[in-house]
Amino acid sequence: MAICCEASDSTLPLTTGALTIALAGNPNSGKTTIFNALTGMRQKVGNYPGITVERKVGRCRLPEGVDAHIIDLPGAYSLISRSPDEVVAMEVLRGLRPDTPKPDAVIVVVDASNLQRNLYLVSQIIELGTPMVIALNMMDVAMRRGVAILPAELEAELGIPVIPVVGHKREGIAELKAAILKARIAPMPDWPLPQSMREELTVVGGALAIIDSAEGLECEAAGLKRATPQEAAHPNQLRLDRYRAVAERLLVGDRAGDLTAIANRDPVGSVLSSAHERMTQDGMDPMQVEIEAHYRWIELISARCLHDVDELAAMGNEPPSLLSHEPPARKPTVSERVDMVLVHRVWGLLIFALIMGSLFVSIFWLATPIMHAMESAVAWLGHLVTGEMDDGPLKALLSNGVFDGVGAVVVFVPQIAMLFLFLSILEDSGYLARAAFLMDRLLARVGLHGKSFIPLLSSFACAIPGIMATRTIENRRERLATILIAPFMSCSARLPVYLLLIGVFFAQFSAWTRAGIMLGLYGMGIVVAAGCAWIFKKSLLKGAATAFILELPTYKFPQFSQVSRQVVVNTWEFLRRAGTIIFALSMLMWAMAYYPRLPEAQVQKIQATARTNALSAPATSNLLGAAQLEHSFAGRLGHAIEPAIRPLGYDWKIGVGLIGAFAAREVFVSTIAITYAVGDNEDALPDAMRHDTYSARYGPPAGRPIWTPLVAISVLIWFVLAMQCMSTLAVVRRETSGWRWPLFMLVYMNTLAYTLCLLLYQIGSRV
């Protein structure tokens, strides 16, 4: 294989100041494990500005006292495709992002058990002309499959350092760090292009050379500005190769960065289109020709470097392009054998149901005792702090505002952490892809993706981790559709509301019926979600069906350190985003319920009435509490919205509850308890509710009992459908990089809830 430029000896410039090193590689190549091994705890995770692609940068100490910033690029199969992750990887590598310096060197993580496809990305990075090192990872997996690669051979083929690494055992990391300093620009391979394309490239390359010498051609993209020592010695030949490299990029349709400007320049544009035309007339697609040439080069290399562990490679006389590098009678790998069960048409589905079911159940059951314990702990702490204080605004602020607010947030943490734990294990082990494989048919019908399943399932515990989990869905439309319907999966915060209302108003029915109603509510959420997803598919999110290409990676044992890191990071993110909002809104709700204070005269009146009726002290304070709530801003707001919600069968007390539910849905129950003057004694709530009647203020049906089964159902359906969780909206804002979609969610879901409850109540009350 001819090499048209000699290997450049330019090692990295040891400038003062840290090096910028990019870490690239296919998804599932073990890149993250290597990143963690290189940077330890010194990582910063954020987002690239303006988009939802995650940005991970860490610091690393290299030998010889050199510091490096390592950028963990998003996993990419190619630098040319349009998925946001791959666009970012390409832009960072080419130095096109203003927020990230162009890397001084690239480490490409190559999965040894999957060499050919991984080398495709390598071939693209070689074309960028950046100094490179290859980290040959998962050598152990390859060995187990009977495939051996000799790193020295690969290094000889590619002309860049190749360091064997076993990421999860942290082997080879020290050698990798040393090798970074010896990163080299790879010699540009002579891609086996057909003769006609080579001729076209010479034509276009020549045109570029002429323009460059005449007018100057700025092309950072193919390193035209950077002359290696060899090029300085033989300027004409080697620069022509660089022009041909740019010509190749242009001819296959790459327009990233400054290539657009070049393609648009006068002579270049017409030269390109005539070259294109000639090739099309010959029945050749430049894009296809180029990719196939890269793969032919890859096949030649892998034929030379891959050896059967049992017998060294006897490649025989088969022409290289027909070569598949495994021996014909191949034992199935461990992963493949596991898949025979896990993806089996019967067993696979059963096991899937079992795994998902136990995830679901454990979130509710396992987490509950921990949640109770945490609630008690916060309450105890609250009493400790405020016990000795005098009654007054400060005590109320602390115990009811601050500590209750903290309690409202803290109560989520066990469930959320457990959920993130399961999600992380599912993803790292490789099972997530199988789950997506099993479920895709069902989900694709309504415009979702197989990978939507687990985020939606997670949303039954809390929509926030569910929405965060949609990051695994590469396609933007399918991801957005999943996010938009996730809140319809009734989250655990709605459970207290469901339990209260079903328990009170359907007490006369058997336990089975009540369970059935509960299930019906969950089912309704699912049906509405599917319906909305389908409508979005047909209208808002309409577009060409996107390429569903799902790699099924080798099964891996999830690493404890990686999993625990993800759980901690994600739970912290939840606390930071959702927790702050829940806390802030709780405080706001507290203030709205506390102020303005009930006038002293009224307090006296109520106390007098209580004394006449010989009520106990707790009962008196409950009465006062109820009166205070009605008098407060919250109460007044409830009265203010009563005309709007009366058509749904709600009165102002329910209105206040709904307002409280904006902080967190389960606040509905505690708020209702206060309005009905039962305070903390929620067992007395059902009776109080049953005896309540509509006030005359807003017309009929004054004097009639409010809480009929119909109204109960109306409230239940409201909770199934309405978007009340402000922290969910905040997370959606972050995940979709803008306010457009959260606002849309707020409007469409609440309109749907209002309309359905309205219809239900109006029709129901006339029947």
Partner 1 sequence: MERQCAPVGRVGTSTYKAVALNDLPVGRAGRVLGILAERELKRRLLEMGFCNNVRVEVVRKAPLGDPIEYRLRGYHLSLRAEQAHCISIRPD
Residues of the shown chain interacting with partner 1 in the complex, contacts defined by CB under 8 A: 77-78, 80-82, 113-117, 120, 147, 287-288, 291-292, 295-296, 321-322, 324-326, 336, 339, 343, 345-346, 348-349, 437-438, 440-442, 444, 450, 544-545, 547-552
Per the structure block, which two tokens stand in for 327?
Answer: 């021996």
Residue nearer to partner 1 on the CB measure, 472 or 724? 472
- Mind giving me the DSSP string for 664-728? -TTHHHHHHHHHTT-TT-GGGHHHHHHT-B--GGG-SSTTSBS--HHHHHHHHHHHHH----HHH
Residue nearer to partner 1 on the CB measure, 545 or 747? 545
Q: Which residues share a beta bridge with 55?
A: 46
Q: Tokens 């009905």 correspond to what residue?
A: 676
**Closest approach of partner 1 to the CB of residue 125, in Å:** 14
217, with CB counted inside 10 A (0-12, 13-18, 19+), is buried
**Closest approach of partner 1 to the CB of residue 329, in Å:** 13
**Closest approach of partner 1 to the CB of residue 202, in Å:** 24
Residue nearer to partner 1 on the CB measure, 104 or 339? 339
**Closest approach of partner 1 to the CB of residue 102, in Å:** 24
**Closest approach of partner 1 to the CB of residue 348, in Å:** 7
**Closest approach of partner 1 to the CB of residue 438, in Å:** 6
C-alpha to C-alpha distance for 407 and 397, rounded to whole angstroms: 14
Which CA distances in Å does 33 have to 45, 391, 423, 558? Answer: 15, 55, 17, 11
Residue nearer to partner 1 on the CB measure, 441 or 704? 441
Per the structure block, which two tokens stand in for 571?
Answer: 């739970």
**Closest approach of partner 1 to the CB of residue 295, in Å:** 5
Provide the residue type at 517 as one letter: I
CA angle, corner 258, sides to 256 and 263, nearest 5?
85
Which H/E stretch holds residue 634?
helix 633-645
C-alpha to C-alpha distance for 76 and 116, rounded to whole angstroms: 14
C-alpha to C-alpha distance for 264 and 271, rounded to whole angstroms: 11
**Closest approach of partner 1 to the CB of residue 570, in Å:** 27
C-alpha to C-alpha distance for 366 and 360, rounded to whole angstroms: 10
Asked if 96 and 80 touch (Cβ cutoff 8 Å), the reply is: no
Residue nearer to partner 1 on the CB measure, 116 or 765? 116
Per the structure block, which two tokens stand in for 374?
Answer: 């945490």
Residue nearer to partner 1 on the CB measure, 551 or 687? 551
Quote the distance between the C-alpha of residue 44 and its chain's center.
Answer: 17
Residue nearer to partner 1 on the CB measure, 41 or 346? 346
Residue nearer to partner 1 on the CB measure, 345 or 704? 345
- Helix residue ranges, H only, 159-234: 173-180, 195-215, 229-233
C-alpha to C-alpha distance for 257 and 691, rounded to whole angstroms: 71
**Closest approach of partner 1 to the CB of residue 725, in Å:** 33
**Closest approach of partner 1 to the CB of residue 27, in Å:** 11
**Closest approach of partner 1 to the CB of residue 145, in Å:** 8
Which H/E stretch holds residue 46?
strand 43-47
**Closest approach of partner 1 to the CB of residue 303, in Å:** 12
Asked if 610 and 584 touch (Cβ cutoff 8 Å), the reply is: no
Within 10 A of 522 (CB to CB), how many other CB atoms are there?
16
Residue nearer to partner 1 on the CB measure, 355 or 752? 355
- Mind giving me the DSSP string for 101-142? PPPSEEEEEEEGGGHHHHHHHHHHHHHHT-EEEEEEE-HHHH
**Closest approach of partner 1 to the CB of residue 476, in Å:** 13
Residue nearer to partner 1 on the CB measure, 547 or 763? 547
Q: Which residues contact 545 (CB under 8 A, 6 or more apart)?
A: none
Residue nearer to partner 1 on the CB measure, 457 or 502? 457
Residue nearer to partner 1 on the CB measure, 436 or 659? 436
Residue nearer to partner 1 on the CB measure, 260 or 681? 260
**Closest approach of partner 1 to the CB of residue 189, in Å:** 17
Which H/E stretch holds residue 511?
helix 511-538
Residue nearer to partner 1 on the CB measure, 171 or 285? 285
Q: Which of 661, 666, 706, 658 is nearest to 682 (CA)?
A: 666
Residue nearer to partner 1 on the CB measure, 227 or 252? 252
C-alpha to C-alpha distance for 189 and 290, rounded to whole angstroms: 13
Taking phi over 0 as left and psi of -120 to 50 as alpha, with beta for the rest, 590 belongs to: alpha
Strand, helix or coil for residue 73: coil
**Closest approach of partner 1 to the CB of residue 257, in Å:** 18
Q: Which residues share a beta bridge with 596?
A: none
**Closest approach of partner 1 to the CB of residue 276, in Å:** 13
Q: Which of 83, 92, 134, 78 is nearest to 111 (CA)?
A: 134
| 54 φ, ψ (degrees, to nearest 5) | -75, 140
Residue nearer to partner 1 on the CB measure, 258 or 440? 440
**Closest approach of partner 1 to the CB of residue 252, in Å:** 9
Q: Which residues contact 607 (CB under 8 A, 6 or more apart)?
A: 620, 624
Q: Which residues contact 144 (CB under 8 A, 6 or more apart)?
A: 333, 334
Asked if 103 and 131 touch (Cβ cutoff 8 Å), the reply is: no
| 188 φ, ψ (degrees, to nearest 5) | -70, 120
Residue nearer to partner 1 on the CB measure, 116 or 762? 116
**Closest approach of partner 1 to the CB of residue 123, in Å:** 11
Residue nearer to partner 1 on the CB measure, 81 or 562? 81
